Each structure stands twice: as structure tokens, then as C-alpha cells.
Amino acid sequence: MAGGKASARQKMINLMYLVFIAMMAMNMSKEVLSAFGLMEAKFADSNASTADRNELLLTDLVEKGKEKPKEFSVPSARAQQTEIASDKFYKYLETLKQDIIREGNYKPTENGKLPFEAMDKTDILDEAWFTGDRLTKKGQEVMSNIEEYKKSILAVLSKDESYRGTADDFKKTFNTDKVTNKDGKKIDWLDYHFQGFPAIASYTKLTAMQNDVRVAQANMLNLFLGKVVTEATTLNNYKAIVLPEKSAFFAGEQFQGRVVIGKYANVPPTKLVVQGKEIDLSKAIDSSGAATLDFNVGNVGEHKIEGEFTFIENGKELPIKIDANYVVVPRPNSATISADKMNVVYRGVPNPMTISFAGVPDNKVSASGSGLSKVGGQGKYVVRAGTGKQMTINVTATLDDGSKATDSKTFRIKDIPAPTGTISGQTGVVKLPKRNVEVGTVSAKLDDFVFDLPIQTTSFKIKVQGQPTVNVAGTKMNAQAKAAIKRARKGDNITIFDIKAKIQGNNSYRLKNVSPVVVEVTN
């Protein structure tokens, strides 16, 4: 078109045509690149929504595995295995996509999307994954991760013959055999799909592979759930369950309860035998498929319920055994009454108690006694003891048949023991320097008492050997006491006595006399 015989004008026209064709090619390239970008965005959105659905399916399976391990533990474990392998490979593919973004120095546009039209470089993966007709270490790593993922998934799908179809589909989706190119030559799978392509095309292919991972994972989760449903719906997997109205019965009572198949399967039986006696189905079976039982429970002790449900499945009789236990206990004639701290109650403090009646719910138990009140909670009471040396608590229980059972117990009432005086935390006869006595705190405490009571010291007296007694208010030495202490000599005794103390928040109760503290001066 630009031959030597053409005129200058023709050469100019030809050049313009070339420029025009090049411009068209450039515009077409941008459109193609944008198309790849739009495809990538579609795949990314699909991956996010599929991941959410997969998470719900997996959570459902895991919960079922905990609630009904016999039916769901194996599918749950297999689902979690495929989840781990899929997430690992998905995240690895994401690192490959980030390599493209980093090496190409591609920055998001103003709308947060990738710069599709600028992602036309072909050398990013060409240099990273390929060298001549071989793969680089990075290229070998890519193939190794694909094969590792395939091996992990197929190891799970190979454990059950019913998974064969899903396994075959998975192999086709992630087939990495050599591919025949347009020239009829077989080349490596990675070379065929990624060498010489623009960055946006490779990036989109990796996102598409991530989509394959999420879809394969969804197929497997549905496979595991579907298999469980198939196994769970057959009557062969149901068990006859006896549901008594209560866990224990009094001697002579009538047993009341229900026998059900699985989760109250609404499957009408053709025959029901319990304890060797055939039951009238028209009267015993309710709308949920449960059978109502009514017979004398017998003597005190453990008893078995034996029998058989008979159903029709696939035109044949299907017998299901009934095998359960129940316990008969004696009627209660005594209450359980215990002081949470000791076998006594103390004046001046709220004494916690737990009061119950064996086999009787808390709302049918009432208790009474001087200073007794309920404080909430199952059988929780408080006793505030008054005068005297003992008190009695009476308990009444209303049984299921409306009859009453009563009991009572007597408790000793004791005073709070006498507190022990302290100086700087020390008691009895102690050796201290004068300075320690001057700055020390005088207080009182209850040694080895069952209640942790806050004791407040209000005043005390101090007697330094050879000097008059000094009265002190509060817990610290006043100026007069400090002056007397300063005049003490080594070996002199300082006696702290007549310590006045009270229980914080309870001014009405008078504590017993506080024991004194004697200090031998050491300097």
C-alpha cells in the first residue's frame, strides 16, 4: 500500500489508513479489556453470595452433627474437611491475583474498581510462571497447589460410592491435563490458559477458578445434606422412644407417658404391643403418631418397658422394638433442709438456707419459721435469728395428687463470737518499735468465723506502763496517745484495750467485748 510507485498524496492517504486502523484496533482492545473487567466483577459478586450460602449450609451441618451425632457426625466432618481445603486453595488464588496487581502497579479507579483498560500487560505472569518451555518455581508452585486441592477433595469424595457422580464432575472442572492448541499441538494446561494473556484476562481467569471452588463446595455441601436426608427419612433409622410424663413415680401411681418413633414421625402403625399386651390403636395413637401409655408402674425400683411397633414400608411389615427404662421412687416423707454455712444460725447476720422437698418442685414447697424469708432462686431462703437459743423451720409440700407432706427441723441460735483486737494487723502479745505503735491502726476482726463481716472500730484505750490511761476515738493514735508512747522505754508494755467495735450497716447488734492487744516496746 506504500509501494515506490505511489504518489506523495497516495502515500499520505495510505498512512492515514494505517493510523485509522491502528486507532480502531486500540479502541477494540480497550473494549475487550473492559469486557474482561465486567466478567471479573460478575464472578466476584457470585463468589461472595455463594460463600454466604455455603456458610449457612456448613453451619447447619455442624449444628446437626452436635445435636444428632449418629446421623450427622460423618457428613459434618466431611463438610468441614472440604471447607478447610477449599478455603485454603481459594485464599491461595487470591494471593496470585494480588501478585498481578502489585507487579503491574495497578491502582483502583475513583469508583473503587480495577483499571480494566490499563491492565493490558502480558509479561507479568509470563516472567513469573514461565521460562522457555518450562515452568519457573512459581509456576510449579501454582500447579502443586491445584493438585493438592484436588487430592484433598477427592480423598473425601472417595469415601462413599454415592459420591461418584460429584467426584467425576469435580475432576472435569479442575482438569489440568495437556490441552490441544489451535495448531494441533498439546501444551501444558497452565501455558494454554495463562501465557501471553493480558493481566486483566489472567486476573479474571483466577477469579473464575475461585468461583469454581465455591460452586464445587456448594455442590458437596448439598450432597452431604441430601444424603443425610435420604438416610434419615427411612423408617429403618427411627427408634422407638418412651417419653414419660415425669422421670420418677411414686409406688402405686399410674405410669403416664408416650411412645414415639424418632421425632414424632406421623406414620400410623399397624400394631402396637407393650409389656406383652396388644394396645388398641384407635385409642392409643394421636395425630402426631405418638402412642399414649397407661399402666400401673409397680413397686419401688427400676423397671423396663418392652414392646414393639409394627409399620408397613415398601409393602412389607417393619417391626421396631420398644426398649426403655423408668424408675419408681418412694413417696417423700421428709424434707431436705440445710444451712449453707453451718448447722447453726447466728444472730446479727442473714443466714442463707436451701430448703427443698425430694421429688417436689419448688413452687409446691412452702417453709415457715421465726425470721425466715425467701430471697429468690430455687429453694433459697434467709434466716434472721432473734432471741432464744433455738428456732424451728416447718416445711410443707403439695404432692401431685393434692395430698400434703410435712417436715420440720430445729436449729441452735448462737451469738457472733467476740472479735480479736489488732494493731497493725497483729494480735495478742507482740513486739514492735514505738514508731510502729504510733502510726499503727487499731482494729478488730473475727477469727475463723463462717461469715466475712465488715467490723468497724469506733474507739479504744491505751495504757503505757507507768503512765495514765489515754482514751482514743477512731482507729489511729491521737496526740496525747503518741506523747505517752514516746515516753515509753525499751521493754515497757503498751496495752490497747476496751476496743469498741460494731458491724458495719448493723448498729442494732452489740458485739461481744473485743480482746486487748499488748505491745512490748523493742527500742
CATH code assigned at 494: 2.60.40
pLDDT, tens digit, 9 for 90 and up, residues 81-91: 999 999 999 99
pLDDT at residue 3 is higher than 50: no
Between these two residues, 151 and 119, which has the higher pLDDT value? 151
405 and 424 assigned to the same domain:
no
Q: What share of the chain is helix, strand, coil (3-state, %, to 5)?
A: 40, 30, 30
Domain termination site, one of 414, 435, 455 = 414
214 and 252 assigned to the same domain:
no
DSSP per residue over 270-291, as a string? SEEEETTEE--HHHHB-TTS-E
Written in H, E and C, the secondary structure of 482-521 is HHHHHCCCCCCEEEEEEEEEEECCECCCCCCCCECEEEEE
Beta strands per DSSP E along 65-190: 130-131, 134-135, 179-180, 186-187
199 and 182 assigned to the same domain:
yes
101 and 169 assigned to the same domain:
yes
283 and 198 assigned to the same domain:
no
Q: For residue 1, is it within any domain? A: no
403 and 428 assigned to the same domain:
no
Percent of the chain with pLDDT over 90: 28
Q: For residue 196, is it within any domain? A: yes
Q: For residue 103, is it within any domain? A: yes
Residue 30: partners with Cβ closer than 8 Å, 6 or more residues away: 117
Please give the pLDDT value at position 246: 63
Please give the pLDDT value at position 19: 45
42 and 163 assigned to the same domain:
yes
Could you tell me the residue range of the domain that residue 357 belongs to? 335-414
Q: Which helix (H) or strand (E) holds 171?
A: helix 164-173
44 and 134 assigned to the same domain:
yes
Is the pTM of the predicted complex or chain greater than 0.95?
no
495 and 371 assigned to the same domain:
no
Domain termination site, one of 295, 329, 363 = 329
Between these two residues, 468 and 109, which has the higher pLDDT value? 468
The CA distances from residue 323 to 123, 251, 275, 284, 403, in Å, are: 73, 22, 10, 18, 33
- CA 443 – CA 422 distance, rounded (Å): 5
User: Quick check: 444 and 422 in contact, CB under 8 A?
Assistant: yes
Dihedral (Cα; 156, 161, 166, 172), 10-degree rounding: 90
pLDDT, tens digit, 9 for 90 and up, residues 58-74: 888 888 888 878 777 88
Look up cell 513469573; give the residue.
Answer: 128
Q: For residue 509, is it within any domain? A: yes
Q: Which three cell numbers stand for residue 500?
A: 469498741
- Could you tell me the end-to-end alpha-carbon distance of the chain, in angstroms, rounded to an integer? 122
Backbone angles phi, psi at 76, to 5 degrees: -65, -45
Residue 345's CATH number: 2.60.40.10
Q: Which three cell numbers stand for residue 244?
A: 414419660
pLDDT at residue 306 is higher than 80: yes
Task: Look over the chain and give the mean of its residue pLDDT values, rounded to a whole number.
Answer: 81
As a whole number, mean pLDDT of residues 397-405 equals 84
Q: For residue 13, is it within any domain? A: no
Q: List the single range of 29-33, 179-183, 386-390, 488-492 with lowest mean pLDDT.
A: 29-33
- CA 23 – CA 386 distance, rounded (Å): 106
- CA 192 – CA 179 distance, rounded (Å): 7
292 and 195 assigned to the same domain:
no
As a whole number, mean pLDDT of residues 221-230 equals 69
Strand pairing category for 442-445 and 344-346: unpaired
Task: Band the pLDDT of 441: cuts 50, 70, 90.
Answer: very high
Q: Three-state SS for 103?
A: helix
User: Quick check: 482 and 458 in contact, CB under 8 A?
Assistant: no
As a whole number, mean pLDDT of residues 121-143 equals 88
pLDDT at residue 304 is higher than 50: yes
Residue 162: partners with Cβ closer than 8 Å, 6 or more residues away: 227
Q: How many domains does the chain have?
A: 4
Backbone angles phi, psi at 213, to 5 degrees: -65, -50
Domain termination site, one of 414, 447, 474 = 414
Q: For residue 96, is it within any domain? A: yes
467 and 388 assigned to the same domain:
no
As a whole number, mean pLDDT of residues 468-488 equals 93
385 and 462 assigned to the same domain:
no
Q: For residue 83, is it within any domain? A: yes
∠ Cα 244 246 248 (to 5°): 105
As a whole number, mean pLDDT of residues 113-134 equals 82
Using a 10 angstrom Cβ sphere, with 0-12 exposed, 13-18 middle and 19 or more buried, the burial of residue 512 is exposed
Q: For residue 433, is it within any domain? A: yes
β-strand partners of 385: 347
